[in-house]
Structure 1
Amino acid sequence: MDLNVTQAFSIVLLILAVGELVSMKTKAMIPSVFVSAVLFIIGFWTILPGDVVTQSSFATPIVYLSMYLLLTHMGTLMSLKELLSQWKTVVIALGGIVGIIALTLSLGNLLFGWENVVAATPPLTGGVVASILMSTAAAEKGLTSIAVLATAMYVIQGFFGYPITSYLLKKEANRLADKVRSGEVKMEDNNQEKAEENESRFRIIPPLPEEYQTTYVILFKLGIVAALAVAAAPILHLNQFVVCMLFGVIGRETGFLEEKALVKSGSFGFLITILMAFIFAGLSDATPSMLTEIAVPLFGIIVLGLTGMALISMFIGKMFGYTKEMSISIAMTALYGFPPNYILTVESARASTKNDDEYQYAVDEMLPKMLVGGFTTVTIASVIIAGFFVKLL
């Protein structure tokens, strides 16, 4: 079915809007990303063309541009001190991945066979790159159903990750909000601490006057920093998306970038919409016949992997003083990465808090952990794991 760009755009936005409205009505008990994913997959199985997202103009060039700008912007949400303090989050996220691998390669191997668990485990620990590596390797060996399993794992795992993470983050947000309600945390003191962090000792560029912080100026500065990050990534031998976030932190610390840059430019909402639409486009690959063929190993490996992930992340988190809800949520970012980790955090905080102070405190506490967790699992660890597992297939 061929649609014109406005028709395709309207369909995509209708699905995203319905997801958001359901989330609001259910107080994030049913997260928007889960609802939208279900609607997209039903649509792909019935009346929607598989390329409806591409037809809506959300194609690769603007998706990558959005990712670069958004991740640079995410860096402006954290100070250097805050970023460095997240080393515990990195350890918890990696521990969760170890838990996935431990159970899938042991019990999973006994139940579903070596080739199935080797192909499905890397996509479960992270994103699309791991899925592509494993499905390609399986296809080259003539293992067609195994290749399908690797692809389906990437496509389906979010259906488990979205609702579970939403439930856990709501409990965590409510706990944090209670601290504000009881007076244990005074937002005046907390805001003062944040203000002191914003006054970085590395600031060498004076703040731009408010009247000059226009959409064009802010986007230009974000574009410059993102361009430098992409150019530096091969030199640093780091993933370009990770470097974008790191350069965003540096841009804020030096004063070149404003805090919450895209929000101030008025561009954040549209760019996040582009990314969310692009993520759901991958559901067009999950045909009913595909899922029927590999349903048992697919869902079995997911359940085993999540069990191992939860046990190890809770154990490590307890040692570091993190709640079990926050620890598992950090590890669960492996199932979806960015931007769903951002959306789930904000929605859960909004649903569990009663005023701006409670909301802001909950977001400030949870969002950096969820962002760093997502980078650790999806962007870094999963690619390394997939590179190793390809040799085991």
Structure 2
Amino acid sequence: MEPIFLALIFIAIIAVGEVISIGSRARIPTLLVVVATVFILLQTGILPESYIAASTFVAVGGVLVPVLIVHLGTMIPFKTMMQQYQAVIITLIGLAFSVTAVIVLVTLFFDYETAVAGAGPITGGIIAYIITAEGLREAGLTAIVAVPVTVFTIQNFFGMPLSSIFLSRYAKKICAGETAATLVDATTKEVEIESNQKRHLLPKAFMESNFILLFLLFAGGAIAVFLDGLTGINASLWALAIGVTGAALRIYPERSMEKANSSGITMIALIFVVINSLIGVTWGQIVASLLPVMVIMVVGITGLMVGAIIGAKVFKWDLNKSIPVVLTALYGFPGDYLIVEEISRSVGQTEAEQKRIKDELLAPMLIGGFTSVTVGSVAMASILISTL
């Protein structure tokens, strides 16, 4: 079969997943639908394993992983992070407690390799999962690749309902005037305007060229891979550092890949990498991984919440606000945005109340998600997988 027909089959599955995600308001994530569907098709023999590689997208996705991580480093304006530093620090405290708890307790109950397999994905999204799954395969630990697959696909179902419960409580306090809402939407807009007015290292005309932006991103990814070979430090960490530093020094514009109009096809290629990681995973391995996965989920989520409670005490935040900010590690964007939208509509009785809820919750929730899924999880997964 021609590669374009094979690619069409998989992209159709992705599109169906997106339709279901939109219809469920992200309660059923696209990737869950894609992973579950492809896994069933592979296990039943309806979809031959050779079709995945023959689509040629897997090779493209492998090349794009370090490039995308460079892009992730450009996602959060530095000034916004400084203004929302409390949300950033509370999220990092939650991640630290979660990872530490998983490594210590899961190692006691099972083994260190299983702990590492679950610790990366539970603190973030697709990139942390890819780093973990690929690292396990390279270490010859293919028998436990089912652990990050299962954690990655079900964590959303734990994170979003818990976040909704706590955010609903806090939104009611906002409406009752028991909190001081901060107008973060206006602040964010000011930061974006300021950012757009700043000069970049290259002339403005160059920074508006899709091809030049892609060259800069690929150059950053290539440097990260080169430094990996030179130092032994995971390329993902180098790529993240290059993206953050490059954005701070105005070498990269914020959200570089989106500016280059390339984020959509890049995400499709990355999903193919996720699909490819399902090859060799059996139903028996999934069933065998359920017990450690449940332990990882309970321990990991408890660690996130303990960290959120400690962070709330330090910065005098309401627990109903700090806990969901940290729990964004389980689902990230767009789940964090959609939850705030839904809570503001369901709790706010008037447009003014709905605006107050969004004004106070949107920025810290988005920053929490970016801190965990975009930055923290990539760093933690890279460090942990290098210890195997």
TM-score using structure 2 length: 0.74
Matched with 2:100 is 98
| d(CA) in 2 for partners of 1:70, 1:359 | 29
SS, match of residue 284 in structure 1:
coil
Map of 2:275 onto structure 1: 280
Name the residue aligned to 2:286: 291
TM-score w.r.t. length of structure 1: 0.74
Mapping of residues 1-393 of structure 1, within 5 Å: 3-46=1-44, 47-60=46-59, 62-82=60-80, 85=85, 86-105=88-107, 109=109, 116-126=110-120, 127=129, 148=143, 150-168=144-162, 184-185=182-183, 187-196=185-194, 205=201, 207-209=203-205, 213-233=208-228, 238-292=233-287, 294=288, 297-319=291-313, 320=315, 321=317, 323-330=322-329, 332=330, 341-342=332-333, 344-345=335-336, 365-374=364-373, 378-382=377-381, 384-385=383-384
In the aligned structure 1, how far is the partner of 2:105 from the partner of 2:157? 22
Shift of 1:161: 1.1
Residue by residue over 1:325-372, the C-alpha shift from the partner in whole angstroms, topping out at 9 and shown as x without a partner, is 121333x47xxxxxxx445456656766789x9999977544443343
CA-based RMSD: 3.9
Q: Residue type matched to 1:242 in 2?
A: L
Identity among equivalent pairs (%): 17
What's the counterpart of residue 338 of structure 1? none
Q: Report the Cα offset of residue 24 of structure 1.
A: 0.9
Q: CA deviation at 1:25?
A: 0.9
Report how far residue 267 of structure 1 moved: 0.9
Moved more, 255-264 or 186-195: 186-195
Amino acid corresponding to residue 95 of structure 2 in structure 1: A
C-alpha contact 1:95 1:309 (8 A) present in aligned 2: yes
**Following the alignment from structure 1 to structure 2, what is the Cα–Cα distance between the partners of residues 344 and 13?**
22
Paired residue for 1:144? none
The 8 Å contact of residues 21 and 29 in structure 2, kept in 1 or not, is answered as yes
Cα 1:57–1:40, aligned 2, differ >3 Å: closer, same or farther? same
CA displacement 1:204-228 (0-9 Å, x = unmatched):
6265138x72322221222233333
Letter in 2 for 1:123: A
Tell me which amino acid in the other structure corresponds to 1:98.
T
Whether the 8 Å contact between 1:229 and 1:244 is mirrored in structure 2 is yes
Structure 1 match to 2:123: none
What are the ranges of 5 or more consecutive residues in structure 1 without an aligned counterpart? 110-115, 140-146, 334-340
Instruction: Report the Cα offset of residue 102 of structure 1.
Output: 4.1
Does the 8 Å CA contact 1:152/1:291 hold for their aligned counterparts?
yes
Q: 1:204 to 1:36 in 2, by over 3 A?
A: closer
**Residues 76 and 249, structure 1, Cα contact 8 Å, conserved in 2:** yes
Over residues 76-129 of structure 1, what are the superposed CA-to-partner deviations in whole Å (9 max), with x where a residue is unaligned? 2223445574344333211111222344345xx3xxxxxx34342110111466
In structure 2, the CA distance between the partners of 1:205 and 1:172, relative to structure 1 (3 Å rule), is: farther
Contact kept in structure 2, 1:207 and 1:255, CA below 8 Å: no
What is the CA–CA distance in structure 2 between the aligned matches of 1:159 and 1:22, rounded to whole Å? Answer: 15
The answer to whether the 8 A contact 1:229-1:247 is kept is yes
Change (3 A) 1:302 1:228: closer
Secondary structure in structure 1 of the residue aligned to 2:308: helix
Partner SS for 1:28: coil
CA distance in 2, matches of 1:172, 1:276: 31
- Give the aligned residue type for 1:89: T
Please state how far the C-alpha of 1:179 moved relative to its aligned partner.
7.9
- Contact 1:313–1:328 (CA<8 Å) still a contact in 2? no
Per-residue CA distance 1:267-304 (angstroms, 9 max, x = gap)? 11100111122113323333223334x25633443344
Q: 1:379 to 1:258 in 2, by over 3 A?
A: closer
Distance 1:162 1:270 in 2: 24
Q: SS at 2:310's partner residue?
A: helix
**Gap regions ≥5 residues in structure 2:** 121-128, 346-350
Q: Distance in 2 between matches of 1:73 and 1:138?
A: 30
Tell me if structure 1 keeps the 8 A contact 2:118–2:148.
yes
Could you tell me whether the CA contact under 8 Å between 2:201 and 2:251 is conserved in 1?
Answer: yes
Pair 49,344 (structure 1): closer, same or farther in 2 beyond 3 Å: farther
Asked whether the 8 Å contact 1:33–1:162 carries over to 2, the reply is no
Identify if the C-alpha distance between structure 1 residues 311 and 264 changes in structure 2 by more than 3 Å, giving closer, same or farther: closer
